[in-house]
Amino acid sequence: MKSIIIAGASVLTLAACGGPAATPAATEPAAPASADAGSITMTPEDPGGFTADGFTFHTRPGSKHVVRLEAPGTDTWKATSTGEPTVKPLGERRETTPEGKAALIQEFEALQSGNVAIEFQRLEDGEVEGTRTINFVVH
């Protein structure tokens, strides 16, 4: 029984690491599965098209990634990171999803091999209303 659980966990781990870095969001065109370094890999698709808490980008140096966070009303997001600077922010912008939801888009570029977790704090009127952690594993 123990070997079945270990084998199942190994298959899930390989599937998570071996597939494309992320699937495209509903509002942006899909990146080809064989995209070269420097292409943009979109956030995973979910009902709002937003990047889920705990999502991990498996990437390579030179790749660009989009993190999409919900931003209703006057909400803003503040990002802090841990670890070596393996990714750099490229900028941010606001957009509206096809469902009419307000979103804050933050773009990042993978710099070098390593792991980094970026914690986003959602602020409303200066108060922390929630957090979301996005991970980057740069191979």
pLDDT tens, position by position, for the chain (139 residues)?
444 444 443 433 434 444 344 433 333 333 333 334 444 444 454 444 789 999 999 999 999 998 999 888 778 899 988 767 789 999 999 988 888 888 999 999 999 999 999 999 998 888 898 999 999 999 9
- Which parts of 21-63 are beta strand (E)? 40-41, 56-59
> How many CB atoms sit inside 10 A of residue 30's CB?
13
The tokens for 2 are 């123990």
Contact (CB, 8 A) for 39 and 66: no
Q: Residue 43 is which amino acid?
A: T
pLDDT of residue 7: 42
No. of H helices and E strands in the chain? 1, 8
Q: What is the DSSP letter of 99?
A: T
Give the CATH fold of the 2-138 domain: Immunoglobulin-like (2.60.40)
Burial class of 100 by CB neighbour count within 10 A (0 to 12, 13 to 18, 19+): exposed
- The Cα-based distances of 71 to 13, 43, 82, 99 in angstroms read 32, 16, 23, 14
pTM score: 0.64
Partner residues linked to 123 by β-bridges: 76, 128
